């Protein structure tokens, strides 16, 4: 089933909402985003295209977020099933707040002063402090992710920066770290910021094989050994940790935020 | 105004939807996400907390996405204004599709096989090909972003990877590139993949000053010079480009996707 996400902005809200509500249904979907629909002409062009698909027997679903009433009416008048993402909730919220909704285009994913700088700073921080690159900046970290190579540290750090403007450093635990007892020295002053990732040995073997097939690094034995050691380190040092095997980056990040009581720097 | 985003999953859908709909109102909001509410106990604990805030005269708004009927009813029965994000649209969509919604928890931001690997691969690609790091991989790129230092290439590459699983390389245009006419040699075979970023000179000066105050690099004169040159290069070579000054990473990415006719690798 083809699904259109139509918006006068980025269409991200329509995408997120539409894919979430469609995840309740066991049907394959083909997503097509149409962002920045800001003129009647653009809306009418899209309407013709959608009506043609309906006429050809391929009626799509349409989710939209559009502020301008005229443009909204053009989309709503397509022959397909069209859903206004905010449709039925704007009025009750107006009532609850005792404030009228602004008639101008809202910009849910537009640039917000201050917030934006915090976010870019967090992204730069994550990049500069990826893979233990710059341990001297750990005092600025909101969180330091630990884990063996390929257990999900880097994508998680970047997502925490992008979504929550959280400064996440990450530090790879390697075989060398297991020879001495306790935490690597550089981490000891930051114990409260540490959060561990682990992963199932089979999955780690699979991922590492994709990078470096038939290496000692990717061998089931090495993966098992490193994971046993790192989990025992987490337990001994009472570092909170989670297994990333069946989790998306979004889920890992949301769990880390909740467990570490981190507060987003974006509002 | 305090706003809760409550979910049995990551709460990302509730966050995105709730902040988007609240962007219609000119009120400051304080966002609090409560992800992974999966038991009656958790829901009742949250209900007590919310009711206490209401009793103290600070009634929050609550947006929620929860599949389990009992847990949903506990949240819905809080004394605050509570909004079921999917509330009124599930039934019409069931009708349109002729399919019943699944009773089990939907996982809008859970892990999807295949998709996940494409995404991690795209993130790794963006990191490995950041800042012209590895021009030998340009043939694998879905897109190559150009721009002078600090014009927004890196955050955009990472967002394209994270959100759309698009492999975005980026290549910094420096003063050296202006001495010879035309495109830098390494880019010439990939002309169709090129997309340029530019930015207002004042904003570039501000950003670069944050990195390296009072340097030639950050001087208004240098910023102006580089931007004039790079824009003239884009025009001469007919490379599509946009000005990132007043755009969020989401907006830049959505515009790049649309203009370059890129198709997401995530469904």
CATH architecture of residue range(s) A115-259: 3-Layer(aba) Sandwich (3.40)
Residue B106 reports pLDDT greater than 70: no
Cβ neighbours of residue A182 closer than 8 Å, sequence gap 6 or more: A188, A236, A237
In this prediction, residues B105-122 reach a mean pLDDT of: 76
Residue B147 reports pLDDT greater than 60: yes
Calculate the average pLDDT of chain B. Answer: 91
What chain B residue is nearest to A263 in terms of C-alpha separation? Answer: B32
Q: Looking at residue A27, what is its pLDDT?
A: 86
In this prediction, residues B73-93 reach a mean pLDDT of: 93
Calculate the average pLDDT of chain A. Answer: 91
Which among B99, B109, B248 is the nearest to A27, CB-wise? B99
Which among B25, B108, B158 is the nearest to A20, CB-wise? B108
Report CA dihedral (A19, A20, A23, A25) to the nearest 10 degrees. -90
In this prediction, residues B146-162 reach a mean pLDDT of: 95
- Judged by CB atoms closer than 8 Å, whether chains meet at B19 and A93 is answered as no
- Judged by CB atoms closer than 8 Å, whether chains meet at B154 and A127 is answered as yes
Q: Looking at residue B109, what is its pLDDT?
A: 78
Residue A78 reports pLDDT greater than 90: yes
Numbered ranges of CATH 3.40.50 in chain A: 115-259
In this prediction, residues A161-182 reach a mean pLDDT of: 93
3-state SS class at B164: helix
The residue that leads in pLDDT, B88 or B95, is: B95
- Judged by CB atoms closer than 8 Å, whether chains meet at B93 and A83 is answered as yes
In this prediction, residues B49-58 reach a mean pLDDT of: 96
Closest CA to B82 of A86, A45, A75, A93: A93
The residue that leads in pLDDT, A158 or B134, is: A158
- Judged by CB atoms closer than 8 Å, whether chains meet at A99 and B25 is answered as yes
Share of chain B above pLDDT 90, in %: 75
Cβ contacts of B107 on chain A, cutoff 8 Å:
23
Task: Give the model's confidence band at B136: pLDDT under 50 very low, under 70 low, under 90 confident, else very high.
Answer: confident
The residue that leads in pLDDT, B27 or A48, is: A48
In this prediction, residues A10-20 reach a mean pLDDT of: 92
Q: Looking at residue B104, what is its pLDDT?
A: 65
Cβ contacts of B1 on chain A, cutoff 8 Å:
97
Residue numbers belonging to the annotated binding site of A for ADP = 147-154
Q: Model ipTM?
A: 0.87
Residue B195 reports pLDDT greater than 90: yes
State pLDDT tens for residues A191-225: 999 999 999 999 999 999 988 999 999 999 999 99
Shortest Cα–Cα distance, B182 to chain A (Å)? 31
Which among B89, B109, B158 is the nearest to A83, CB-wise? B89
Q: What is the DSSP string of A163-183?
A: HH---EEEEE--HHHHHSSSS
Closest CA to B127 of B94, B97, B161, B151: B161
In this prediction, residues B147-157 reach a mean pLDDT of: 95
In this prediction, residues B11-40 reach a mean pLDDT of: 91
Q: What is the DSSP string of A10-62?
A: -SHHHHHHHHHHHTTS----EEEEE----SHHHHHHHHHHHHHHHHTT-PPEE
Q: Looking at residue B263, what is its pLDDT?
A: 86
Cβ contacts of B209 on chain A, cutoff 8 Å:
none
Shortest Cα–Cα distance, B181 to chain A (Å)? 32
């Amino acid at each position: 089933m083809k699904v259109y996400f139509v918006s006068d902005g980025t269409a991200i809200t329509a995408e997120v909402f539409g894919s979430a509500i469609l995840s309740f249904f066991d049907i394959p979907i083909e997503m097509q985003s149409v962002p920045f629909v800001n003129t009647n002409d653009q809306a009418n062009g899209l309407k013709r295209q959608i009506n043609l698909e309906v006429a050809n027997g391929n009626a799509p679903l349409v989710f939209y977020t559009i502020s301008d009433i005229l443009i909204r009416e053009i989309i709503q008048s397509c022959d397909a099933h069209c859903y206004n993402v905010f449709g039925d909730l704007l009025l009750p919220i107006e009532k609850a707040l005792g404030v009228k909704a602004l008639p101008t285009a809202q910009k849910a994913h537009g640039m917000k002063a201050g917030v934006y700088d915090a976010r870019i700073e967090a992204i730069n921080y994550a990049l500069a402090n990826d893979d233990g690159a710059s341990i001297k900046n750990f005092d600025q970290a909101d969180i330091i992710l630990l884990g063996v190579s390929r257990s999900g540290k880097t994508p998680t750090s970047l997502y925490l920066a992008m979504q929550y403007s959280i400064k996440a450093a990450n530090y790879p635990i390697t075989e060398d770290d297991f020879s001495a007892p306790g935490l690597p020295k550089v981490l000891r002053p930051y114990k409260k910021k540490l959060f561990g990732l682990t992963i199932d040995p089979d999955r780690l073997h699979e991922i590492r094989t994709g990078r470096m097939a038939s290496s000692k690094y990717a061998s089931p034995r090495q993966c098992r050994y490193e994971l046993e050691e790192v989990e025992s380190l987490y337990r001994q040092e009472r570092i909170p940790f989670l297994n990333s095997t069946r989790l998306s980056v979004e889920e890992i990040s949301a769990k880390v935020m909740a467990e570490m009581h981190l507060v987003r720097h974006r509002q």
